[in-house]
Amino acid sequence: MTAPLDAPESAQHAEPEAIARGRRDTESRSLTQIAWRRLRQDRVALGGGAFVALLILVAVFAPLLTAWFGHPPNQFHQDLIDPATQGVLKDPDDPWSGIDPTGGMSAEHLLGLEPVNGRDLFSRIVYGARISLLVAFLSTLLCVVIGTVLGIVAGYLGGWVDTVISRAMDIFLAFPLLLFAIALAGVIPDDAFGLSDNALRIAVLVFIIGFFSWPYIGRIVRGQTLSLREREFVEAARSMGAGTGYILFREILPNLVAPILVYATLLIPTNILFEAALSFLGVGVNPPTPTWGGMLSESLAYYTVAPHFVIIPGLAIFVTVLAFNLFGDGLRDAFDPRSSD
């Protein structure tokens, strides 16, 4: 994934040039308005955005959806499963009827059933979206906050502060994250920090992902800040006696919103995959809570009898990651005035 390194820099150039050429008709538009105009014309990005919005709705209204279809996510349907092969029977009344290659997809069970215990896959995918999105959003938020603060401080102050923070970023990027995650899951008890059970597990996931992904954002913010701090408006503020905090968060930060927003959108799919990987390794939330990554990891043991069980969570992750990426790419293009209008 490439970073929108120079978007706001050129954006800063744009307005004075426009003024110099006397194109006053664009003067009244803010950067956001320009970006929105561009975004509206980018159908692919809008499609991605619409899917993301839909997904969020699905996650929020998961209980309503499953209640409507009538299958709680942890309800067993063992009568539909062949105990020997563990797959879904073609005919539940005939134990020798063989395995249904679609995994029992029907009007009753839209996406079929899980092997072994026969839980409804549609309900589990819908509920799984909650955990996957929650972890992805929260961890992205965490790394945006850490990355922005440290990046802006490093870029603006420079000197030894910059050296320390930059080396810290290098160390975090080099850290063997998955090993750390497994070790941490072993050390943290089931009740800590006033949280317990899945709330704690989610907090740990968010912490691991967010805490080790912040340098990606941090580096970009630092780079942007390095150029912004030399600009006239910053010097003006400084000469008028503004404090460091004021300059950092009132003068520089607003100019960083666009790249941060864009990069965060592109980081979310990475974090969804990360959550999947951690669940895959057994350090995710506790069963029977469904997560996409957890389902994918379990499904591999049954891929021969229930190929749909591999495909559906895989597809859910794939489509979601794709949608976020398309939307993020569109957002970046929209904020980058060098791209054609």
Partner 1 sequence: MNKRVMGFAAFGAAAALMLTACGGDGGEGGGGGGNGASFDQGSTEIVNPSDATGGTLRYAISSNMESTDPGNTYYGYVWNFSRYYARTLLTYAAAPGQAGTELVPDLAAEMPEVNDDGTEWTVKLQEGLKYEDGSEIVAEDVKYAIARSNFGDQALPNGPKYFQQLLDEDDYDGPYGGDDPLEGFDAIETPDDHTLVFHLKEPFADFLYVLAQPQTAPVPADADKGEQYQSRVVSSGPYKFEDDYTPGNGLVLVRNEEWDPDTDPIRTALPDRITVEEGVDQNEIDQRLVNGELDVDLAGTGLGPAMKGQLVGDEDARNNLDNPTTGAHFYVNINTKVEPLDNLACRQAVQYAVGREGIQRAYGGDLGGQIATQVLPPDIPGADPELDLYEAASGKPNADKAKEKLEECGHPDGFDVNIGVRSDRPAEVDAVEAIQQSLAEVGINAQVKGYPSDTYTNTQAGSPDFVAENKLGLTYYGWMADWPSGYGYMSSILDGDAIKEAGNSNISELDDPEINKLFDEVISVEDPEEQARIYAEIDRLVMENAAILPGVFQKSVIYRPDNLTNVFFNPSWHMYDYMTLGTTETE
Where along the sequence are the contacts to partner 1 (CB under 8 A)? 74, 76, 78, 81-87, 96, 98-99, 116-117, 182, 185-186, 189-191, 197, 280-288, 294, 297-298, 300-305
Distance in Å, CB of 54 to partner 1, minimum: 30
Cβ distance to partner 1 smaller for residue 48 or 284: 284
Cβ distance to partner 1 smaller for residue 5 or 281: 281
Cβ distance to partner 1 smaller for residue 71 or 332: 71
Cβ distance to partner 1 smaller for residue 16 or 282: 282
Give the contacts of 124 (CB within 8 A, at least 6 positions apart). Answer: 73, 114, 290, 295
Distance in Å, CB of 289 to partner 1, minimum: 9
- What is the distance between the alpha carbons of residues 137 and 339, in angstroms, rounded to a whole number? 28
Distance in Å, CB of 272 to partner 1, minimum: 19
DSSP annotation of 102 reads T
Distance in Å, CB of 191 to partner 1, minimum: 8
Distance in Å, CB of 87 to partner 1, minimum: 7
Identify any residues that bridge with 81 across adjacent strands, giving them in sequence order. 88
- Is residue 210 within 8 Å of 141, Cβ to Cβ? yes
DSSP annotation of 26 reads G
DSSP annotation of 89 reads B
H helical segments located in 175-243: 177-187, 197-228, 232-239
DSSP SS3 for 120: strand
Q: What is the DSSP string of 226-276?
A: HHHTTSHHHHHHHHTT--HHHIIIIIIHHHHHHHHHHHHHHHHHHHHHHHH
Distance in Å, CB of 197 to partner 1, minimum: 6
Reference 341, options 108, 41, 46; nearest CA is 41
Cβ distance to partner 1 smaller for residue 33 or 97: 97
Cβ distance to partner 1 smaller for residue 83 or 241: 83
Distance in Å, CB of 208 to partner 1, minimum: 14
Residue-level length of the chain: 341
Cβ distance to partner 1 smaller for residue 88 or 228: 88
In one letter, which amino acid is 120?
D
Give the contacts of 105 (CB within 8 A, at least 6 positions apart). Answer: 111, 112, 308
- What is the distance between the alpha carbons of residues 169 and 165, in angstroms, rounded to a whole number? 6
Cβ distance to partner 1 smaller for residue 58 or 182: 182
Reference 133, options 200, 74, 60, 64; nearest CA is 60
Torsion of CA 13, 19, 24, 29, to 10 degrees: 30
Distance in Å, CB of 90 to partner 1, minimum: 11
